[in-house]
Amino acid sequence: MTLFKDFESFNKYLGVANPLDSNIDVGYYDVPKMRLKSEPVSIDFYRIAIKSNFLDKTGSDFDPGNPKPITAVFFNSPGHSGGWDIEPTFNGMYVQLSKRLIEENRFLFKNYLDYGQHEPLYLIEREEQEIRTIFALMLKYYDSRKDNFNVLFSYVHVLVSLVEAFYKRQFSSNPIRYSPIVSEFQRLLITYYNEPQKHIPTVQYFADKLGLTPNYLGDIIKYFTQKSPLENIHEFVVKKAKEMLEERTDLNNTEIAYELGFEYPNYFAKFFKKQVNLTPKEYRLQVSDKLVSKQRL
């Protein structure tokens, strides 16, 4: 599989214009000149593509008997690979951003650049027009980038902010699409301790189990549960810890910490104290006192 480390080599392979800058590249697709079919390739930078009337025969949703072109925003990021077999009927534009540019300005960018192939953003007509308007302004300042780089970069931020708003609309308008992901995350969480574990559960663990990126999983879980995956995980671990502290009188606090997957018992004590405002020892004493009080009654 070929890895493209810079805009210039990938643009040449794809069949689009040479970049004007090594950190940011903006352009329109020139479909008649483009490579319409490719084996999987990988890029070492970030890419946002906006495509109208787009049909990729390698897509997971492609139905040969009833092909349906889409209008959507697509994302590529380092570490992801993919090929394509597309019909020459689409039009659109793209923005390419170097890893250095993203890392230096990570606070400006949300999770969407890491979505990879999981979730294109399907655009309605009004949203497409808004993005095309922003893109036209980006291209204007890209052509004179030396004098207007800050303006160009500001429009990139506006584009990503629009994507954030549009994703919320997509999540809310099609909950059936995402409910299986939420349900499976919750099932995996509940059954996590059915087998002995050497580690406490992590977002990466559940993302790997579901075949998703942590950011993509995180945004879905946060939208539908109003809590981040990490908050869901912490609540579950605390609930499990409380059950064990109350019921497993055969285990001391250190043994419970290891049973829960904490490498260090002191970390378990600090974690529990932060979540419950009591240490495990204090919690056990409180439960014991309540039990004695009930027996006296």
Tell me the C-alpha distance between 48 and 75, whole Å. 5
pTM: 0.71
Q: Which of 181, 172, 187 is nearest to 213 (CA)?
A: 181
Of 123, 152, 185, the last residue of a domain is: 123
Tell me the C-alpha distance between 49 and 82, whole Å. 14
Cα of 197 vs its chain's centroid, Å: 26
Bridge partners, 134 (sequence order): none
pLDDT for the residue 51: 95
Is residue 149 situated within a structural domain?
A: no
Shared-domain flag, residues 7 and 117: yes
Tell me the C-alpha distance between 46 and 113, whole Å. 7
Is residue 72 situated within a structural domain?
A: yes
Is residue 70 situated within a structural domain?
A: yes
Structure confidence by residue, pLDDT tens digits, 63-77: 788 888 999 998 888
Of 83, 105, 123, the last residue of a domain is: 123
Is residue 18 situated within a structural domain?
A: yes
Shared-domain flag, residues 108 and 26: yes
Determine the 3-state secondary structure of 225 from DSSP.
helix
Is residue 189 situated within a structural domain?
A: yes
Structure confidence by residue, pLDDT tens digits, 5-59: 999 999 999 999 999 999 999 999 999 999 999 999 999 999 999 999 999 888 7
pLDDT for the residue 112: 57
Of 99, 123, 147, the last residue of a domain is: 123
Tell me the C-alpha distance between 253 and 286, whole Å. 14
Instruction: Match 């300042």 to its residue by tokens.
Output: 141
| CA separation, residue 110 to residues 24, 160, 216, 218, 253 (Å) | 17, 7, 11, 12, 40
Is residue 229 situated within a structural domain?
A: yes
Count of domains for the chain: 2
Tell me which residue range forms the domain holding 209.
177-296
| CA separation, residue 130 to residues 68, 111, 136, 213, 249 (Å) | 23, 21, 10, 28, 62
Mean per-residue pLDDT, 102-130: 76
Is residue 140 situated within a structural domain?
A: no
Q: pLDDT at residue 187 above 60?
A: yes
Structure tokens at 169: 């609309």
Q: Which of 182, 176, 163 is nearest to 220 (CA)?
A: 182
Is residue 130 situated within a structural domain?
A: no
Shared-domain flag, residues 181 and 290: yes
